[in-house]
Amino acid sequence: MGFFLETVFGGLMAGMLYALVALGFVLIFKASGVFNFAQGAMVLFAALAMARFAEWIPKWLGFQSVVLGAVLGFIAAALCMVIVAWLIERLALRRLVNQEGITLLMATLGISHVLDGAGQLIFGSATYKIDIGMPKEPLLVLENMFEGGLLLSKEDLYAAAIAATLVVLLTLFFQKTGTGRALRAVADDHQAAQSIGIPLARIWVIVWSIGGIVALVAGVIWGSKLGVQFSISLVALKAFPVVILGGLTSVPGAILGGLIIGMGEKLSEIYLGPFLGGGIENWFAYVLALAVLLIRPQGLFGDKIIDRV
C-alpha cells in the first residue's frame, strides 16, 4: 500500500506541472479564442530568462546573495514576458483581428519558432541551473501507518502549493474583476466586445502577459527540478492531452486533467507495464485524450458549443 501511495503522489506532482503548462493554453484560449501552440516555447523562453537574469544581475550590481538574485531574476523575467506579450500583439495579433481560427493558430506556430530562436540567441543554448531555494531532500511521513513510512518530495509539495495558489488567484481574477469579465467577453465575440468599448489590443496584451507569467512559473519549477534546457519546450506536448481532457475553457479542468494524466501514466507504467511492455508513460496521455474526444469533444469541464441555424 505504501508503494502504491508513493506512486500516486509522484503522479499527482508530475500532473501538477503538466497542469501549469496547460493553464497557459486555457487562459489564452479562454480570453482570446486562440489555441496557443507557442506555450511550450514561452515556458522555455521564460525559464531561460529567469536562469540568465538570476546569474547576470548579481554580477551587474555586485552582490553575492543567491536568494536576492533569484527574486530580481524572476521580476526581470516577468517584465521580459510582458514585453514579449506586447510584441506579439503589436506585430502579429493586431493584424489578424477577426480572422479565421486557423489563421491565428498558424500565427502561434510561427511565434513558437521565433521564441525558440530568440531564446537561444539572447540567452544561450547550454543547460542552466535555477535555484529558488526549494528543498531537495525527501520527507518521510506516516511511519506509524505504513512500514517504512511514505517517502515524499518536499520540492514537489512546494511546487503543488505554488500551483494551487496561482490557480486560486487566476480564478478570482477572471470571476471577480472587471478586466477578467472583459477578457471573457473578448473570447466570446471580438467584434461585439469592440462595439461596447472594450479595447481589444490592451486585452490581448494583458492575457498574453498573464499566459507568459504562468509559463514563467512553470518554467521555473521545471528548471529547478531538471535544469533549463531546450527539451523543456517538449513538455507542452504533454499539456495538449491535459487541455483536451479538462476542456479548453476551464481553469479547474486544466488542473484536474493534469492530475488525472500524471497519476494515470505513473500507475499504468508500474502496474500495466509488465503486461503491455514499457514506455506506457509516453503514450498513455494521448490515448486517454483520444477516448475523451470520442465521448465528450469539449472535455470533462469545457463549455459545450451550440450553434443555432
Residue spans of the domains in the chain: they are: 2-295
Going from the C-alpha of 97 to that of each of 33, 85, 104, 199, 286, the distances in angstroms are 11, 16, 9, 12, 32
**pLDDT, averaged in runs of 10, over the chain (309 residues):** 74 81 80 78 89 90 85 92 88 74 82 88 85 74 67 78 81 78 70 72 82 87 79 74 83 84 85 75 84 83 60
**Taking each helix axis from N to C terminus, what angle separates 2-32 and 39-61, rounded to the nearest 10 degrees?**
100
Helix (H) or strand (E) holding 150: strand 150-153
Q: Which is nearest to 21 in space by CA: 255, 183, 187?
A: 255
Helix (H) or strand (E) holding 151: strand 150-153
Q: How many residues does the chain have?
A: 309
CATH fold label, 2-295: ABC transporter involved in vitamin B12 uptake, BtuC (1.10.3470)
Q: Extract the C-alpha cell encoding 13.
A: 506532482
What do you get for the CA distance between the two ends of the chain, in Å? 55
User: CA–CA separation, 11 vs 92, rounded Å?
Assistant: 38
pLDDT at 148: 64
pLDDT at 77: 93
What predicted TM-score, i.e. pTM, was given to this entire model?
A: 0.84
pLDDT at 161: 83
Q: What angle do CA 201, 205, 208 make, to 5 degrees?
A: 135
